[in-house]
Structure 1
Amino acid sequence: MVRHRPRRARCISCGATHVLLAQLWLSRRADAGAVIGAALEAKAAGSGHRPIAAALGRPASTVRGWLRRAAVNAEQVRVEFTRLLGALDPLAAALRPRGSALADAVEAIGRAAAAAVVRLSLVAPWEFAARVSGGRLLAPSLGVGW
């Protein structure tokens, strides 16, 4: 398990302190986007939260929370990453349904990340997803236009 301690900074205009989160972490999550992404990939492949938690060495309740939040956001994530795929690779083949909204979202993230690597020489898919979503991939409300 990787431990991290986010830095804090004081806002010059309002005087409040804010957490500065590296782009490979998701907002309000103690695990890196790659760890959460591995859980989402396993769920999309048909695994349950308990085997996923055991494989990742995380509490079952934590993994269950990730999967529930991802299921709530799955359709919007699929739409946003499909849109991004089209922008990165206008000739990309259409996404085929994978059997669930979450599996469709995971497919869209992977395809958009692959297109970004080809076009922009970026990094791993889940770091890409964390960056594009501004760390809000599992946020309660995704908002419009990441």
Structure 2
Amino acid sequence: MFALVRRVDLADVVGAALVAKVSGAGARTIAEALGRPVETVRGWLRRFGRRAEHVRVYFTALLVEVGIDPVPPALAASSFAQAVSAMVGAWKSAVSRWPQIGEVSPWQAACAVSQGRLLSPSWP
């Protein structure tokens, strides 16, 4: 099981919310799609948004460090989107080196790498 610290929902649910936000959805739409309270989803998005630059830097460095032939993610429209892209890119880089990592989602991998503290103010 992959859950973030102080969160009831699994990393895959939070990850789906992050991807939906990058795709242009708002908190209400995301909450309805995931069957979660809008306040909960809004909290995830705000917390991640405040940490986005730190998350982007951390996962971009991880992507470069573990990848066999790493390709840093292209610039995105926002720091939020860049951070999500870096997380997925780091997962892809890890899968290129260790294919068995592909058995977990990018969000489960990010949860493991952050020791469940992806949305914590003190991480990374």
Interval of TM-score (by shorter of Structure 1 and Structure 2): over 0.9
Q: Which structure 2 residues correspond to residues 1-146 of structure 1 after superposition, within 5 A?
A: 22=1, 24-89=2-67, 91-120=69-98, 121-122=100-101, 123-143=104-124
CA shift, 1:54, in A, is: 0.2
Q: Structure 1 length as normaliser, TM-score? A: 0.79
Larger radius of gyration: 1
Q: Structure 2 length as normaliser, TM-score? A: 0.93
CA shift, 1:90, in A, is: 5.2
The one-letter code sitting in structure 2 at the alignment partner of 1:51 is T
Please give the per-residue CA displacement for 1:9-56, whole angstroms capped at 9, x wherever unaligned.
xxxxxxxxxxxxx5x110000000000000001001111000000000
Moved over 6 A (4+): none
Number of residue equivalences: 121
User: 2: CA distance between counterparts of 1:47 and 1:132?
Assistant: 27
User: Structure 1: which 5+ runs fail to align?
Assistant: 1-21
Identity of aligned residues (%): 49
How large is the Cα RMSD of the aligned pairs?
1.1
Larger relative strand fraction: 1
User: Structure 2: which 5+ runs fail to align?
Assistant: none
User: 1: CA distance between counterparts of 2:34 and 2:10?
Assistant: 12
CA shift, 1:91, in A, is: 2.6
User: 2: CA distance between counterparts of 1:104 and 1:75?
Assistant: 8
